Chain A
Amino acid sequence: MFMLLINSIISGILAGGLCGAVGAMCNRLRLTTIAFSIAHAALAGSALALTLGADMISLAILFALISATILGPLADQLRIPLDLVSMILFSMYNALTFIFILSAPGQVLMTESVGQLLWGSVLAIRPTYIAYLLLTFVIILAFLTLFWGKINSLLFDIKLAEAEGVNVRIYKYVILIIAGAAITLALRMTGGFLVFSLLYIPAAASLQLQANMKWIIAASWLLGSTSASMGLLMSFLYDLPAGSCITIAALIILAGASVYSRLRVSLAVEGRPR
């Protein structure tokens, strides 16, 4: 039991951080809706695994990565905005998820597997899952550290970065694939419905702190970690769905950041000489 709690906290720190950082970048690049299609691709992959009796993580990752990889090229080929392609895929994956779940053998709708898929569970946290998280964490940290100068330029203004010779398409695709990996992994804890809470609530909270871009990503990483580990602890202690607890923890942090931001502004105004 104690090991499960420790594993949950470690997973929360890693997955929450990943989603927070990725969410801050996606928000800045106006790629917020990509999360919908990637999360639901993972959901469709997991549902297919239920039908086939295959490993859920592997198929979820496969579906999410395929989705993240094809999003950019599909938008370029169809010459329509990325957001629109994302929502088309989102609808398609939802349709597939329902078909797969209803085609699964036995009373699958009542099983714990479907519950884990939809609203997450601490029971989904295993040593292999932590290893996947750790690997993704190292890859994302290395990518951000090594290519920060170019990523920064992209985050400031995509068109200007492109005009100056940054290979915008490649960087965007890499960010989409990284987002796909982070979302798929977080999905195990939060479930398909609530993965967005880890992606965008920490990003929104970090924006309240008014820092520079590097600190916004770092703060989003930290707040995502805190939300996820707090939520998992709550889920563990009160036997509630992990995804719901993580969302509530993230919302509490957002409210705290917002109050801090307002207090800071009003103190600065009061401190000004009249």
Chain B
Amino acid sequence: MEEGPNRYAVELESVSTYYYGEKRPAIQNINLKIDVGSLALIIGPNGAGKTTLLETVLGLLRPREGRIKVLGYRIPKEVLKARALCAYLPQDFMKPPMEPFTAREVVAMGLASNSFMGMLSDDDWRKVDRSLELLGMLEYANKPFGKLSGGQQQKILLARALVREPKLLLLDEPFSAIDQKTRSYIVSEVFPDLLRKGCTILLVSHDSESLLINPSVIIRMRDGFVEQVIIRNVHVAH
């Protein structure tokens, strides 16, 4: 792994985050350094602070104490620069049937947020279609997003995350509604390809789906603390 200021994709130093009005922190005194190009699996029971950790990294929640750097950018000061290089798939994301956006439009939003004034070129739209194709969702491109099943909506959001070609991909329970075959494909084909391109993946999970994954780091959380960090010797072909 290269030395220098950007050796780490994510750096947290004594970070504690509280929800508004709460006396007890949702995550407490977190110290973590995650190498660029690694796949970090964050596990733990419900309420362990996994989602809070992801949202704190992305600056969606502001920590009361500690320092955070994402891809070399200080959070929250340079949060917009950091977010431009990140992609996020939130937990339990589900929209109702009346949602007035097509699947293709939803994926395109992933690129619009990074482009000047949100305008997309023909090349951008080709990228959108390629991303949909990668997850086998091209045939649903013009379907209303809300009329897709939970698993299909999750795939569309993953396509939206991938189309951004992120340097840091944050996935919160990404497989909760996705079938076994697609999970295997994503883990064995999509993730290794992203890692080869230098992307760092932070994946939150709390169940056996993690057994399919071959992470380089396992972060075990409990009651808002990092209980254990296991560094594994996983080879990623560059």
Residues in chain A within 8 A of chain B (CB atoms): 79, 146-153, 156-157, 159-167, 207, 210-213, 215-216
> Shortest beta-carbon distance, A213 to chain B, in Å?
5
Q: Are A156 and B20 in contact (CB under 8 A)?
A: no
Q: Are B117 and A165 in contact (CB under 8 A)?
A: no
- Note all chain A residues with C-beta closer than 8 A to B101: 152, 156, 212-213
Q: Are A212 and B88 in contact (CB under 8 A)?
A: no
Given A149-B112, A150-B112, A152-B109, are A163 and B83 also a contact pair (CB < 8 Å)?
yes
Complex CA gap A167/B113 in Å reads: 9
B105 within 8 A of A: yes
Residues in chain B within 8 A of chain A (CB atoms): 20, 58, 60, 80-81, 83-84, 86-88, 90, 93, 95, 98-102, 105-106, 108-110, 112-115, 117-120, 164
Q: Are B118 and A150 in contact (CB under 8 A)?
A: yes
Q: Are B109 and A156 in contact (CB under 8 A)?
A: yes
- Note all chain A residues with C-beta closer than 8 A to B120: 149
Complex CA gap A79/B101 in Å reads: 31
Q: Are A150 and B113 in contact (CB under 8 A)?
A: yes
> For residue B82, which residue of chain A has the nearest CB?
A165
Complex CA gap A165/B161 in Å reads: 13
Which of B93, B100, B114 is A213 in contact with, Cβ under 8 Å?
B100
Q: Are A162 and B102 in contact (CB under 8 A)?
A: no
> Shortest beta-carbon distance, B29 to chain A, in Å?
24
Q: Are B117 and A146 in contact (CB under 8 A)?
A: yes
- Note all chain A residues with C-beta closer than 8 A to B114: 164-165
Given A149-B120, A211-B100, are A160 and B83 also a contact pair (CB < 8 Å)?
no
Complex CA gap A211/B144 in Å reads: 10
Which of B90, B93, B95, B112 is A153 in contact with, Cβ under 8 Å?
B112
Complex CA gap A153/B166 in Å reads: 18
> Shortest beta-carbon distance, A269 to chain B, in Å?
16
> For residue B99, which residue of chain A has the nearest CB?
A156
> For residue A148, which residue of chain B has the nearest CB?
B118
